[in-house]
Structure 1
Amino acid sequence: MSNVVWSIAGSDSGGGAGIQADLKAMQSFNVHACTAITALTAQNSLGVEAINAVSTEVIESQLLALEADMKASVIKIGMLANVQQIQMVAEHIERYKSHWDTPPQVVYDPVAIATSGDALTEEDTVDAIKTHLLPLVDVITPNTHETQILTGVYLIGPDAVKEAGQKLRSFGAKSVVIKGGHWDYPKGYCIDYCWHEDEEYWLGNEAINTPHSHGTGCSLSSVIAACLSKGYPLKDAFILGKAYINKGLKAAVRFGEGIGPVAHTAFPHQLEDYPQVIEAGSWLGDELDLMVLDEYNYTAGFAPIEEDLGLYAVVDTIEWLEQCLKNGVKTVQLRVKDAQSPTLEQDIEIAILLGKKFEGRVFINDHWALAIKHGAYGVHLGQEDLNVADLNAIQKAGLRLGLSTHGFYEMLRAHNYRPSYLAFGAIYPTTTKDMTGQIQGLEKLRLFVPLMNAHYPTVAIGGIDLSRAGEAAQTGVGSVAVVRAITEAASPEQAIIELKQAINEQ
């Protein structure tokens, strides 16, 4: 996928928002940003003094030049100063989507009012936005005020936020991110909302107390655009954008006499900058009246594992589990996917006994009730299991809990439960599971590891064989899991020796 992103927006002469903020935010995520300027604003930290809209002819010349040589994977749209600009830009976007070999995604930040309170459009553009632009938008990112202008819904609570999101979708926007920086609900917290493909995502953190927030909206939508261009799912782009803004607000300073700009501080590498993934059953979830499923139980804090897990074998039979343990693999997972297998309970019981015999860490995949019944060392669950497993029972039984994660959002969701370890994957394409759209790659693994290594043992999994084990281990991940690298080897015993050497396990 091309990492070229366009920003169609206005220039902020004060350097805090608009095109200037877009360029800084996109550069922080290592994408190449191109620009088409829609307006030259005269503004500083005290306010907007003039808006000089660029003619549609000049905007079009910029778009034609970019299209001829530097097509974008994502186009971020900010301020459009008048109806004529909206109509012209919409015509071009419509053509890109219908004629380009790879249609671009469109992220629209409906800039209407600056942080200072000044209007940023020449006239009432709402009808033109709804009619011409929103049907072409993949992700719309309004703040609370812009949401109210576009939808007529006053955001007095979470139900109103959902209603406004539905209205924006009815206008044609495919996905919605409503920024909560001006919402203050619950009191003292900043809550953001995302709707994408029939799923709702809520993020929250304590509000960061600073007056210097100029350009936060532009910057967040630009990070989302940059992440989408790198192939990240929207839920990951959403949480990374939020973390980037949190980090920038903490470092923001004043440069003039008024409101300072959000700081641009590169990729957010510190866990404390990330928001909480809000789930039903949590305190913030209760504040937002999120529906709790009958079988769902929110539990956090599982038995710790005091060392890295090393070479981690994932096998589907007792025979392979025993062979791995006999040959010195200290961490093995029994993954029996057939829940109707007549020998399922027997296999789990034997696996647990073999783990004790060889002093290994044996995790049971999915079948947590049988793992508890027979006193397993630990269980491994996927994200989908968190809604149905009896987490309280697992915790009370003292079992270790490992959780699968596929990206930043799922990683932060797993962190809510304070598990015993986190597994990141799939790092490479694999034949054992359909991981379409969930391949993480080494680039993401290098970002996951420093975020979580201080808090949990970490595991890389998915498509890892002897030729890849070393480079995965070089990211600093504490364990490398293999599924076929042992069981399909000509000599499993030699494969174990070589895999341990590749990851520097003593």
Structure 2
Amino acid sequence: MADVVWSIAGSDSGGGAGIQADIKAMHSFGVHGCTVITALTAQNSLGVEALNSTSTEVIESQLQALAIDMPARVIKIGMLANVQQIQLVAEHLSHYKAKWVEPPLVVYDPVAIASSGDRLTEEDTIDALKTYLLPLIDVITPNTQETQLLTGVYLIGPDAVREAAQKLQQLGVQSVVIKGGHWDYPKGYCVDYCASQGQEYWLGNEAINTPHTHGTGCSLSSAIAACLAKGYPLKDAFILGKAYVNKGLSYAQRFGEGIGPLAHTGFPEDINDYPQVIEAGSWLADELDFEQPIPFNFAAGFADTGGELGLYAVVDSVDWVEKCLSAGVPTVQLRVKNADPETLEADIQTAVTLGNKYQGRVFINDYWQLAIKHGAYGVHLGQEDLSEANLQAIQEAGLRLGVSTHGFYEMLRAHNYRPSYLAFGAIYPTTTKDMTGQIQGLEKLSHFVPLMAEHYPTVAIGGIDLSVAPDVVKTGVGSIAVVRAITESNDHASAIEQLQAYLGNR
């Protein structure tokens, strides 16, 4: 199945919201958008002058035509104008989820009130939404007013946002994205929230000062839908959608005499358009009353590596540490699985000694206490370790810190800590670690690198061998990390030489 996304929504004759915005946003993320028109609005930049709902027969014919030939990975729903439309769409969604070989995800933007303040649905639709539609929704993306309309919760602080999300999930919705454009808490900032599978994600950035905001909600939901269709996890779709809207607001302009539409400017490639991940101790966390973890100086960051890391060997023994260093590998990581407590410390001490002997960069995976104790060059941590390790102790000891990232959200989270380098993976499937659901591929790598290369050395890892290394290097990544390409080769010195050549002996 191709990356097809349907938009079931109303048409905006002014071109700024609804179906028109959906198609533009979907195109920006490289998916094919199909449409089912639920209403024809007569509107311009000054407001909505008329709403002409489409008959259920016409909606039915559109749905049937698409289902026969162009089934969707994701179905995005916008305005449903009346109870009959809600019931009809819900009936079809139930059928798709039960019968399609690949049941579609459903993203719902509950368009009840236009950004101009005009009400766009009939009064009796709320009960129908709760009864028929919400139990079928995978991701709902309401703004402040729509959240309050559906839950009765007024969003006066973070706890209220969490409560509203819980109420929506109790109505049957799987995941909730509450848009903060009208929230203004803290004042002068835009904070967005996502609750999914027992996890919560907060994003924040300074509010973008523009009156031209028409179509932001439609565009955010459609960007999320497009990213989900391409296989991105929701937390990545969330942060990409937000970056897309931020960029669009920065370039928005007036067409007509009223409120201008969001600009549609393609995939967000500028790190300045991305929001920051808000977590305990980080930017905006105090304003949101997050608990303070172990003290850490986010602004100071970690010691640098003096440039790109070149060929990066990840090995599980001190013997391989020496083989790689002696063959000219500039960066080596000792990653010991199921370590023997009786030999672990001695192995780490030996690896550090070997790094000094060969003037190589030796990183210790996970065991940061022992790395500090024996004066290692650096430590490599996974995302889960960022909340558990004493980062300030690593920072104060002067060790370099490398961080694994699996997607856009984790990349931006790691960016909070100003590490010494960022590792992106897994680029390809690998037998050394279960990376189910976390394969990034070259397309994502080609986006990661330009976003972060000005700030950090970049490393690609996961399933990279001699056959694919040239393609990985073409993305501009500064380093490739390899495991089996060296340790399982017939001639490790020859493999190292070839890999070094691909990287230009960096």
Say whether the fold is shared (TM-score over 0.5): yes
Tell me if structure 1 keeps the 8 A contact 2:425–2:438: yes
Give, in whole Å, the separation in 2 of the partners of 1:190 and 1:141: 15
Asked if the contact 2:107–2:221 (Cα under 8 Å) also holds between the matched residues in 1, the reply is: yes
CA separation in 1, counterparts of 2:273 and 2:251?
11
The DSSP-based 3-state class of the residue aligned with 1:485 is helix
d(CA) in 2 for partners of 1:4, 1:484: 37
How many aligned positions are there? 505
Structure 2 residue aligned with 1:433: 433
Shift of 1:115: 1.0
Residue 459 in 1 paired to residue 465 in 2? no
1:381 aligns with 2:381: yes
Q: CA deviation at 1:122?
A: 2.9
Per-residue Cα deviation, 1:111-144 (whole angstroms, up to 9, x for no partner) = 0111110011133311000000000000000000
2:97 alignment counterpart: 97
Distance 2:105 2:285 in 1: 31
User: For residue 38 of structure 1, what is the aligned residue in structure 2?
Assistant: 38
1:155 equivalenced with 2:162 (yes/no): no
For residue 456 of structure 1, what is the amino acid of its counterpart?
A: Y
Native 8 Å contact 1:296 1:388 kept in 2 = no
SS at match of 2:484: coil
SS of the residue 1:475 aligns to:
coil
Shift in Å at residue 411 of structure 1? 0.1
Which residue in the other structure is 2:357 paired with?
357
Distance across 2 between alignment mates of 1:174 and 1:44: 35
The residue number in structure 1 matching 2:409 is 409
1:138 maps to 2:164? no
Q: Distance in 2 between matches of 1:102 and 1:170?
A: 25
Q: What is the TM-score with the length of structure 2 in the denominator? A: 0.99
Deviation at 1:304, TM superposition (A): 1.1
Q: 1:296 offset after TM fit, Å?
A: 7.0
Corresponding position: 1:4 with 2:4 = yes
* 475-484 vs 333-342, greater mean Cα deviation: 333-342
Displacement of 1:502: 2.2
Separation in 1, partners of 2:444, 2:407: 8
Query: Which amino acid in 1 is paired with 2:251?
Result: A
Distance 1:487 1:341 in 2: 24
Deviation at residue 289 of structure 1 after TM alignment: 1.6
Give the residue type in structure 1 aligned to 2:146: E
CA distance in 2, matches of 1:204, 1:431: 37
Are the aligned partners of 1:17 and 1:215 in contact in 2 as well (CA < 8 Å)? yes
Are the equivalent residues in 2 in contact too, given 1:299–1:392 (CA < 8 A)? no
1:288 is matched with: 288
* 2:492 counterpart of 1:500: no
Q: Distance in 2 between matches of 1:296 and 1:346?
A: 30
Indicate the RMSD between aligned Cα atoms, in angstroms.
1.0
Contact 1:278 1:285 in 2 (8 A): yes
1:281 offset after TM fit, Å?
A: 1.2
1:180 alignment partner in structure 2 = 180
Separation (CA, whole Å) in 2 of partners of 1:202 and 1:254: 31
Does structure 2 conserve the Cα–Cα contact (< 8 Å) formed by 1:302 and 1:400?
yes
Deviations 1:179-230 (A, max 9, x none): 0000000010000000011000000000000000000000000000000000
Which residue does 2:450 correspond to in 1? 450
Alpha-carbon contact 1:296-1:389 (below 8 Å) kept: no
- Deviation of the 1:282 alpha carbon: 1.9
User: Equivalent residue of 2:200, what SS?
Assistant: strand
Quote the Cα distance in structure 1 between the aligned partners of 2:458 and 2:48: 49
State the Cα distance separating 1:341 from its structure 2 match: 3.0
Identity over aligned residues, as a percent?
A: 75
Listed one character per residue, the Cα deviations across residues 244-269 of structure 1 (whole Å, up to 9, x for unaligned) are 00000000000011000000000000
| 2:189 matches 1:192 | no
Q: Which amino acid aligns with 1:322?
A: E
Flag the 1:69–1:20 CA change in 2: closer, same or farther, 3 A: same
The residue identity in structure 2 corresponding to 1:357 is K
Q: Is the 8 A contact 2:427 2:463 kept in 1?
A: yes
Task: State the match for 1:477 in structure 2.
Answer: 477
Residue 27 of structure 2 aligns with an amino acid whose one-letter code is Q
CA contact (8 A) 1:405 1:414 kept: yes
Tell me the alpha carbon deviations over residues 49-94 of structure 1, each in whole angstroms, 9 at most, x when there is no partner. 0000000000010000000000000000000000000000000000
Aligned partners of 1:408 and 1:13: how far apart in 2?
35
Alpha-carbon shift at residue 299 of structure 1 (Å): 3.8
**Residues 411 and 116 (structure 1), Cα distance of their counterparts in 2 relative to 1, 3 Å cut:** same
Runs of 4+ in 1 over 6 A off after TM superposition: none
Distance 1:21 1:12 in 2: 9
**In structure 2, distance between residues paired with 1:25 and 1:405:** 26
Indicate whether 1:126 and 2:153 are aligned: no
